[in-house]
Structure 1
Amino acid sequence: MTTTTSATSTASTASSERLRLMAVVARLYYVHRLRQRDIAERLGLSQARVSRVLQQAVEHGFVRTDVAVPVGLLPELEEEMERRYGLQEVHVVEVPPGTTDLAPVLGRAAAGYLVEAGISGRTVGFTSWSTTLQAMASALPDLPRSGTSHVVEMLGDLGSPALQHAAARSTQRLARVLGAEPVFLRTPGVAATPDLRRRALEDPYVRRAVELLDDLDVAFVGVGPVAVHSMLTPDDNYFSDAQLVRARVAGAVGQLDQRLLDAAGEPVVTELDDLVVGATLDQVRRAGRRVVVAGGASKLEAIAAALAGGWVDVLVVDLGTAQALATRTTDPLPTVAPAV
């Protein structure tokens, strides 16, 4: 019963994403007058794929004298976000009323996006501790082989052994559906001292993972506030409360895989950088395509900082957060559980 329901949900998400892709491609071609080659480059698709999607849009009745967009899709808001922040693509997700946990909703939407857009590149970075990205990996069906050879974790272990096991399973899942080798970063993501971090980097398995992060084709990046994650406790392979207070005093409003950013998206250099075992901001910057799947009131400042600094290429986000970002409002959003 559970398996059938999950499969139906995944199929429905994939179907919705196919409709959304038709709407996006049709608007770019017929409304904004972009060439198919330019659309392909912008969305990370082949030109042949763009041509097929345009044909499907015609067959589904999207194209008349204008583009008819199905109810529930939000192309105008997505285009405004893309224009405002220079993003390649934005996927805005409507969250059912009463939802208290955004992670499963955003994760399924991200899985649908990947089913349609695919992943191109040999090396994929994956923030396996993110509950939203874990939900994405869980919702993914088997994908056509894309040439991906490695899925490498972008941050070491956080939290209890149970949380670490869940992270490893998500990495294995994503690697399996891509037909790639999982590359684990099995060491504390936040070392107790700089010396312990240096010693961890001497391990050949850790060193291999960190070196692979130098050449990421796609990076699924974790974004969050400068605070203890709800699933963690201070010092639990993580920063202490006092360290986080000092980071906020230094101007940090958000983090990318535990690397700190200020409100303008600029790096905030503190002693905490010498404790993190994972992708550096330089490695994130060099990645071919940076994908962020996040939302919720507690993430608003962090997402805004990541966008301001140009750290994101593709954003999957809930409607409330997207509206706040599109209008640059500082008004608080409705309280929901954060999605990491």
Structure 2
Amino acid sequence: MAEWDSDTENQRVMSKVARLYHSRGVRQTDIANRLGISQARVSRLLQAASDSGIVRTVVVSPIGLFAELEESLEEKFGLVQVHVVEALDDHDEGELTRDLGIAAAAILQPIQLESQTIGFTSWSRSWRHMTAALQPVRTSGDLFVVEMLGNVGPPRLEHEATRATQRLADLVGATPLFLRAPGVVASTAVRDAIIDHDVHTQEAIAAFDRIDIALVGIGDCEIVHPLVSGENFFREEQFALAKSLGAVGEVNLRFIDADGKPVVSDLDELVIGITLTQLRVAKRRIGVAGGLSKFVAIRAALRAEWINILITDVLTAQRLLADDEKHE
């Protein structure tokens, strides 16, 4: 048992050193100081990571490193898969978002795609990091990548979302279906006018009913930079209304309560994007999210099975498991 523990710890440190060096560009001397080890050991660990195949185009943590934790979460929430990733800094949610996105690229890389439609949440920071780290994927047949929500936030974010969708489509050899309409509008009349007069928006919305793999966005009921209140997005008072009705989070801007049940209100009619009913049709619904601020929303999404594949960090996974046990 002691020998297995030692080997596991060595793999953990090897993975962390490789990610700092290759993914973050941190110098070996700085890695040594950060982890409290010698520079010579850092060099040896980097060579070992290369020899063992941990270092590829992106750095991949060893599969099964948290197998027991993953299996426990799969059983507790009835999930198809759980992938637990060790973050470099669990308390820096910006770094955590990047780490999870890079990990998601490595996890999704082997998926076989054949004549499928992929629903993509292009405004999600984690999913954009995933597309930046992903390498070309072998596919066959006619594939489509469809944006599951319209524009949210300022023009810069719209540009980043468009590039991410195009890159993902290029990497999997798919036709992109852009939803270049506001994600949130002022009224149902505005929503209907946009849809009625934009053939590309109509084409994207029509594809929602045939999504096979959904790359889902999960958020709390807060406005997080670079999103701006009212800028193709809900206003602060609208989030306050949703919370007063019991919302603890949202899945692609569809509000859910603590048990994951939809929070029904007129706000739903202002969103140009996939509905929860349409999302449920997708066979694989993948969520990549972690951190304390999103914990309640992640738990709610799991309870109602709005996602059935979860990619998260160690601390969030441990909280999910411990919290669920306390309520049994």
Task: Sort the TM-score into its range (normalised by shorter chain).
Answer: 0.7 to 0.9
Instruction: Pick from 78, 102, 106 the counterpart of residue 86 of structure 1.
Output: 78
Task: State the match for 1:215 in structure 2.
Answer: 210
CA contact 1:14–1:115 (8 Å) conserved in 2: no
Residue-by-residue CA offset, 1:212-231 (whole Å, 9 max, x unaligned): 01110100010000111321
Shift in Å, 1:147: 3.3
Distance 1:139 1:241, change over 3 A: same
Instruction: Pick from 127, 137, 160 the counterpart of residue 133 of structure 1.
Output: 127
Task: State the match for 1:34 in structure 2.
Answer: none
Task: State the match for 1:74 in structure 2.
Answer: 66
1:251 paired to 2:246: yes
Task: Give the TM-score of the pair, scaled to structure 1.
Answer: 0.77
Instruction: Pick from 16, 23, 36 the counterpart of residue 60 of structure 2.
Output: 16
> 2:190 is matched by which residue type in structure 1?
L
> 1:141 is matched by which residue type in structure 2?
Q
CA contact 2:84–2:312 (8 Å) conserved in 1: yes
* Whole-angstrom CA distance in 1 between matches of 2:207 and 2:281: 12
> 2:243 is matched by which residue type in structure 1?
R
> 2:321 is matched by which residue type in structure 1?
A
Shift in Å, 1:329: 6.6
* Whole-angstrom CA distance in 2 between matches of 1:87 and 1:215: 22
CA contact 1:221–1:290 (8 Å) conserved in 2: yes
CA contact 1:148–1:178 (8 Å) conserved in 2: no
Task: State the match for 2:232 in structure 1.
Answer: 237
Instruction: Pick from 244, 264, 268 the counterpart of residue 273 of structure 1.
Output: 268
Residue-by-residue CA offset, 1:170-226 (whole Å, 9 max, x unaligned): 001110010001110001000111110111111211011001011101000100001
Shift in Å, 1:122: 1.3
Residue-by-residue CA offset, 1:301-331 (whole Å, 9 max, x unaligned): 1000100111111100011111000111799
1:327 paired to 2:319: no
Distance 1:108 1:119, change over 3 A: farther
Residue-by-residue CA offset, 1:69-127 (whole Å, 9 max, x unaligned): xxxx1000000000000001000010114762211100010000011334455100000
* Whole-angstrom CA distance in 1 between matches of 2:88 and 2:293: 19
* Whole-angstrom CA distance in 2 between matches of 1:15 and 1:232: 30
1:318 paired to 2:313: yes
Q: Which stretch has the larger CA shift, 267-276 or 109-118?
A: 109-118
Shift in Å, 1:12: 3.9
CA contact 1:137–1:173 (8 Å) conserved in 2: yes
Task: Give the TM-score of the pair, scaled to structure 2.
Answer: 0.79
CA contact 1:89–1:315 (8 Å) conserved in 2: yes
1:178 paired to 2:222: no
Instruction: Pick from 284, 289, 295 the counterpart of residue 284 of structure 2.
Output: 289
- Alignment: residue pair count: 276
| SS class of match (1:172) | helix
RMSD over aligned CA atoms reads 2.3
> 2:177 is matched by which residue type in structure 1?
V
* Whole-angstrom CA distance in 2 between matches of 1:16 and 1:232: 30
Task: State the match for 2:181 in structure 1.
Answer: 187
Q: Which stretch has the larger CA shift, 147-156 or 182-191?
A: 147-156
CA contact 1:10–1:112 (8 Å) conserved in 2: no
| SS class of match (2:280) | helix
| SS class of match (2:139) | coil
Distance 1:304 1:119, change over 3 A: farther
> Where in structure 2 are the equivalents of 1:139-154 lying within 5 Å?
139-147=133-141, 149-154=143-148
| SS class of match (2:180) | coil
Distance 1:248 1:128, change over 3 A: same
* Whole-angstrom CA distance in 1 between matches of 2:136 and 2:74: 29
